[in-house]
Structure 1
Amino acid sequence: MFNIVLIDLVLSGDNAAVIGLAIRNLAADLRKKAAFLGTGAAVILRVAATSIVALLIRIPWCNTVGGVILLWITYKLLINSESQKNLRAESSFWKAVCLIVVADFSMSFDNVIGVAGAAHGSVPLVIFGLAVSIPVLIWGSNRLAGLMDKYPIIVFLGGAVLVHTSATMIIKGLKLAAFIGRTPATFVPWLLALSLLVWGCSGSFKEKVRGEKLKS
């Protein structure tokens, strides 16, 4: 039982990042609600997926599809962050919930496989382990969203984590390591993540300089 909870928490760091990014533009009182609803729905999907994990493993390019979906979601979260602020609270709230569900599920193939193995096919154990991890995910994502308010660069740090995850999933799904080598396959996701972080830092610096010029 402990193994199930531990595996899910270890593999859910990226999930907390995407939840934090999705809810950061919501009002403080809506963040916990969105995180709870989105994570709860995603966990229900995970339980269903874990119950048919043998089937999921046989699906070709499963990680590739999940990686592409996650890349699209990362783009939506980063590029459209300013336009999301202009949406009505209700629209932003449900959009955040939907993004959490889709992103969390697309990232959870490793969780599904790991948890299913630790549970030895016991669905009740799977449900219990995932349920225990929900409060930790919600607390972590809300804490992360709060830090993003104070330090905008964390938005790009979270984006870099998601880009690394999605690139790794795509490379794994397409089995590119067999063609380009294990070292390049490991290096490319880190390079993409670092590039996004550098771009985010330069943009934040330019924004800060522009703001200081306007004040003077």
Structure 2
Amino acid sequence: MEIIFVDFNWDLLKAVLIIIGLDLILGGDNAVVIAMASRNLPKHNQNKAILFGTSLAIIIRVILATVAIYLLTIPYVQLVGGLFLFYIALRLLIEQEEEVEIASSTTLIGAVKTIVVADLIMSFDNVLAIAAASNQNVLLIIFGLAVSVPIIIFGSKIILMMMNKYPIIVYAGASLLAYTSADLILHEERLEGTFQLIPNEQLYLPLFFMTLVCFLGVLVNHYRRN
């Protein structure tokens, strides 16, 4: 009996899982936008608004993330993008929850427009994070969004409730962002010689970023409560 071995591409699987995880963590507010923008529509139009609005938003995100991939090839942009992702990770931990004011519409076209425009404004962090995790692979971006967006739409309330009830989930999300930021910085070609001076830099730099963001988050939140 002949046994067939299938090559297991861990890098590909890791990138897909990171993209899905990032979109789930960062997509909660976008899910709220979708719900609020369509809440005043007749029942039979709510699903249409969600479907059309989300579909257009996904297409725009794919385009923006594709553009971001090419921007990341500019010298030192990966360094700047990585540092900005670290800032987004820290902001996720320390930013106080704010009321989101989204104007709802009574027309299908109006609701779709609101969903697309609001998602475009709010999705910059998602787009940058996904572009960084994609290893310059547009198909990974499309697949990651295709898998995660339906989960966000239909499970947004559960995701938000779980994040509020179990803060450890937020810290896990921030750690994932910090990991992605470190990975992005490590891919900055002009700094490769410097990074090679660090033993096991592929392990220790992401670990340092993840530890640092959690430490700073705990520290800032502690002082805010006292």
Which bin holds the TM-score, normalised by the shorter protein? 0.5 to 0.7
- Superposed counterparts of 1:9-48, under 5 Å: 9-12=16-19, 13-20=21-28, 22=29, 29-30=35-36, 41=57, 43-47=59-63
Structure 1 gap ranges (5+): 1-5, 119-125, 211-216
Q: Residue 81 of structure 1 aligns to a residue in which SS? A: coil
Matches of 1:186 and 1:175, distance apart in 2 = 19
Q: Does 1:102 align with 2:124?
A: yes
Matches of 1:8 and 1:40, distance apart in 2:
24
User: How far apart, CA to CA, are the structure 1 residues paired with 2:93 and 2:208?
Assistant: 18
**Gap change, CA 1:131 and 1:194, over 3 Å in 2:** closer
In structure 2, the residue matched to 1:60 is 75
TM-aligned CA deviation for residue 147 of structure 1: 0.8
> Is the deviation greater in 161-170 or in 196-205?
196-205
- Counterpart Cα distance in 2 of 1:50 and 1:88: 28
User: Pick from 101, 106, 125: which aligns with 1:89?
Assistant: 101
Task: With the length of structure 2 as denominator, give the TM-score of the two structures.
Answer: 0.57
Match of 2:175 in 1: 160
Larger helix share, 1 or 2: 1
CA displacement at 1:107 relative to structure 2: 1.6
Q: Is the 8 A contact 2:186 2:202 kept in 1?
A: yes
| Distance of 1:199 and 1:48 partners within structure 2 | 30
Indicate conservation of the 8 Å contact 1:64/1:173, yes or no.
yes
Q: 1:183 aligns with which of 200, 206, 213?
A: 200
Residue 77 of structure 1 is matched in structure 2 by: 92
Q: What amino acid does structure 2 have at the position aligned with 1:186?
A: L
Q: For this pair of structures, how many residues does the alignment match?
A: 189
Q: Report the CA distance between 1:141 and its aligned residue.
A: 5.7
CA distance in 1, matches of 2:101, 2:190: 42
Q: What residue identity is the alignment partner of 2:207?
A: W
Identity %: 22
CA contact (8 A) 1:42 1:101 kept: no
Structure 2 spans left out of the alignment, 5+ residues: 1-12, 40-49, 104-113
Q: Verify: 1:195 aligned to 2:216, yes or no.
A: no
Question: Which of the numbers 164, 167, 170 marks the counterpart of 2:185?
Answer: 170
Q: Is the 8 A contact 2:79 2:185 kept in 1?
A: yes
* Aligned CA distance change for structure 1 residues 58 and 28 (closer, same or farther; 3 Å): closer
Pair 100,175 (structure 1): closer, same or farther in 2 beyond 3 Å: farther
Deviation at 1:167, TM superposition (A): 2.4
Instruction: Quote how far apart the aligned CAs of 1:89 are.
Output: 3.0
Q: Residues of 1 paired with 2:158 and 2:100: CA distance? A: 23
Q: Which one is further off, 101-110 or 190-199?
A: 190-199
CA distance in 2 between partners of 1:32 and 1:105 (Å): 24
Deviation at 1:19? 1.9
Quote how far apart the aligned CAs of 1:88 are: 5.3
- Give the one of 136, 142, 145 matched to 1:113: 136
